[in-house]
Chains A and B, each alone.
Chain A
């Protein structure tokens, strides 16, 4: 122990190795957020209607931002935020419903197929998100195979690609489930098999073993996987765009992109980005706090 203390962690080698990366993250991840604020609280060129950022916090102009905030809290943008939240929650639930059984099976019951199944499970993670959406887009077009197959069902001739919330949620699930399954698999894989054996030795049925041992042990991993999936999903705008062209399914990301691009009020777009980032930070912080607490419980 004392030897390790002698190798003081202030060895310049480590600092030198980490420095380029840290500088990079500072320059290209942290500082840009300041630029968002500078635009949100800045001015707009009178003719070109492009943003003029205000770098000095003393001159920040909060009028536009507070208008946007009003719309988010009580106005028309509230619908969009709520809808986005609803889609994300539904999609994550879908991911859990689909992903958990699969991850569980591959990690605990797959026997000699394990490596193959693992490879197959990882594969979608490697296929471009857009290509997978492209695939479903083609299948859901009126003359696409899935649309035609589904139209055989009684009373179901919905145009799947025309503003159907179910299509958008489905798309989100399909797109994000590989990102959900992998960390979940990692968690389930790490659960010590001997614990389950012990449970069985003590007389538990395999059902009880699952509900009372596996599930609780996987809870942290489940939450982590859900967070990793849900947060990026909140900023998703392209799934909605690809699979639906209707205001009925408009998500926050669509509004942001719309304001930043086609309007002459880019500062509104920047304000929305700020609000979104803050909301996500709050959720993230809440998650970290709960993880911290859980860890403290374990190590007490």
Chain B
């Protein structure tokens, strides 16, 4: 009776929910698809379709992403910042995750708490604070790319720690202890056992840092030193309400493509690694890891 009841009970609700979910997905993704579509508009409008063209990508002599230096710079700045952020935030974050999970003490608990704060603090608050401290206190630093990098890393650290730590917890301390029982030092255990097991999570963390940095707006603009350090989101924000052409859509589309490429690439790698580690649900688990939980 229970199987039949479950089946009949389960069959009723999902139809509305399925429709609702489908509608949600359309609602959340179709506008973006339309924005991408208009990047191929042949005219200047971002809301009236005037034909297909690649002019905003490279052929328009002054306005295309290829030819407009400010757009190109924004693209370059975004990518450089993202790569640098990965290079800094990932190792520091992995270290944090490892260290804080194993080192049980007051400072560690406080650090854990502080690490959660960026998740719930508005970027405006943190960005403002960073701006003030850099311009008034830390005289070894200037506004500009370094400052923006610092801001990006500070926000990304939390994500790295969350992803790596959850993987660490699910791996558990047993393998490490077994290694130590067999004579390895703690360092060797970490290097030879834990890190390899963590690799999918580290990849996920890296690509999360990439996405956080690429999409970051508030901190990037608060800590920029002028048009030379504008990133793509800053450029979009500044131009949306005024004087923008579909080149803006093109810029956003290029960034989107970069993110998606990174995402898909890393997902494939992660799924491969997980399968090798014996994970039966590699695909879904990789997806979950990429969403930081």
A residues with CB within 8 A of B: 3-4, 7, 9-11, 13-22, 24-25, 28-36, 38-39, 51, 53, 55, 98, 101-102, 104-106, 109-110, 114-115, 117-139, 141, 143-145, 174, 177-178, 182-183, 186, 197, 200-201, 205-207, 209, 227-228, 231-238, 241-242, 245, 253, 256-257, 260, 269-270, 273, 276-277, 280, 284
The residue in chain A whose Cβ has the minimal distance to the Cβ of B49 is A145
Q: Is the interface of A mostly helix, strand, loop or mixed?
A: helix
Q: Is the CB of B122 within 8 A of A236?
A: yes
Contact A130:B287 (CB < 8 A) given known A21-B96, A145-B34, A174-B28: no
Q: Across the interface, do B256 and A131 meet the contact criterion of CB distance under 8 Å?
A: yes
Across the interface, A257 reaches (CB within 8 A) one of B124, B233, B241, namely B124
Cβ-defined contact, A232 with B122, below 8 A: yes
Check B84 for interface membership: any CB of A closer than 8 A. no
Asked if A9 contacts B119 (CB within 8 A), the reply is: no
B139 at the interface (CB under 8 A from A): no
CB-nearest residue of chain B to A206: B9
Determine how close the nearest CB of chain B comes to the CB of A203; give it in whole angstroms. 9
Interface of B is mostly: helix
Of residues B5, B12, B35, which shows the largest number of chain A Cβ atoms within 10 Å of its Cβ? Answer: B35
B68 an interface residue at 8 Å Cβ cutoff?
no
Closest Cβ of chain B to A197, distance in Å, is 7
Partner of A29, one of B10, B108, B117, B248: B117
Please determine whether A25 and B111 come into contact, CB atoms closer than 8 angstroms.
Answer: yes
A74 to chain B, nearest CB (A): 24
User: Is B28 within 8 A of A124, CB to CB?
Assistant: yes
Q: Are A29 and B118 in contact (CB under 8 A)?
A: yes
Q: What are some 9 contacts across the A-B interface (CB < 8 A)?
A: A35-B136, A122-B291, A126-B211, A126-B260, A128-B214, A137-B241, A186-B293, A238-B218, A280-B125
Given A20-B92, A25-B154, also A276-B125 (CB < 8 A): yes
The distance in angstroms between the C-alpha atoms of A9 and B47, with both chains bound, is: 60
Are A125 and B291 in contact (CB-based, < 8 A)?
Answer: yes
**A182 to B126, Cβ gap below 8 A?**
no
B121 & A231 in contact (Cβ 8 Å cutoff): yes
Q: Could you tell me if B104 and A206 are in contact, using CB atoms closer than 8 angstroms?
A: no
Partner of B95, one of A20, A128, A135, A186: A20
Which of the segments B18-26, B52-60, B272-280 contacts the partner chain?
Answer: B18-26
With both chains docked as a complex, state the minimum distance between the C-beta of A9 and any C-beta of chain B, in angstroms. 4
CB A228 to nearest CB in B, in angstroms, measures 6
CB distance from B172 to the nearest CB of A (A): 12
Residues of A within 8 A of B256 (CB): 127-128, 131
Question: Which A residues are CB-close (under 8 A) to B47?
Answer: 138-139, 141, 143-145
Q: Taking CB as reference atom, which chain B residue is nearest A139?
A: B31
Chain B: residues with CB nearer than 8 A to chain A? 2, 5-6, 9-10, 12-14, 17-18, 20-21, 24-25, 27-29, 31-32, 34-35, 38, 45-48, 92-93, 95-96, 98-100, 102-105, 107-108, 111, 114-115, 117-126, 128-130, 132-133, 136-137, 150-151, 153-154, 157, 161, 173, 177, 180, 186-187, 190, 211, 214-215, 217-218, 232-233, 236-237, 240-241, 248-249, 252, 255-256, 259-260, 263, 283-284, 287-288, 290-293
- Most chain A CB inside 10 Å of its own CB: which residue of B47, B104, B290: B47
With a CB–CB cut-off of 8 A, which chain B residues contact A18? 95-96, 98-100, 103, 108, 111
Are B34 and A228 interface neighbours, CB within 8 A? no
Would A101 and B10 count as touching, CB distance under 8 A? no
Contacts of A125 in B (CB 8 A): 291
Residues of B within 8 A of A34 (CB): 133
Shortest B57–chain A CB gap in Å is 16
* Cα separation A121 to B107 with both chains bound (whole Å): 37
Q: In the complex, A253→B126 CA distance in Å? A: 12
Given contacts A101-B20, A182-B293, A256-B124, contact A242 B237 (CB under 8 A): yes
Complex Cα–Cα for A256 and B114 (A): 24
Is the Cβ of A117 less than 8 Å from the Cβ of B126? Answer: no
Please pick, from B6, B38, B98, B120, the residue contacting A280 in the complex, using a CB distance under 8 A: B120
In the complex, which residue of chain B has the Cβ closest to the Cβ of A119? Answer: B287
- Chain B residue nearest in CB terms to A104: B17
CA distance A188 to B255 in the complex (A): 32
Shortest Cβ distance from residue B122 to the other chain A in the assembled complex, whole angstroms: 2
Contact B157 A36 (CB under 8 A): no
Are the C-beta atoms of B129 and A24 separated by less than 8 Å?
no
Q: Contact between A121 and B99 (Cβ–Cβ < 8 Å)?
A: no
Chain A residues contacting B263 (CB-CB under 8 Å) are: 126
Known: A9-B104, A35-B137. A118 touches B287 (CB 8 A): yes
A237 surroundings in chain B (CB, below 8 A): 124
* Extra 6 A-B pairs, beta carbons < 8 Å, given A16-B99, A205-B9, A241-B237: A18-B111, A21-B99, A22-B111, A115-B287, A138-B38, A273-B124
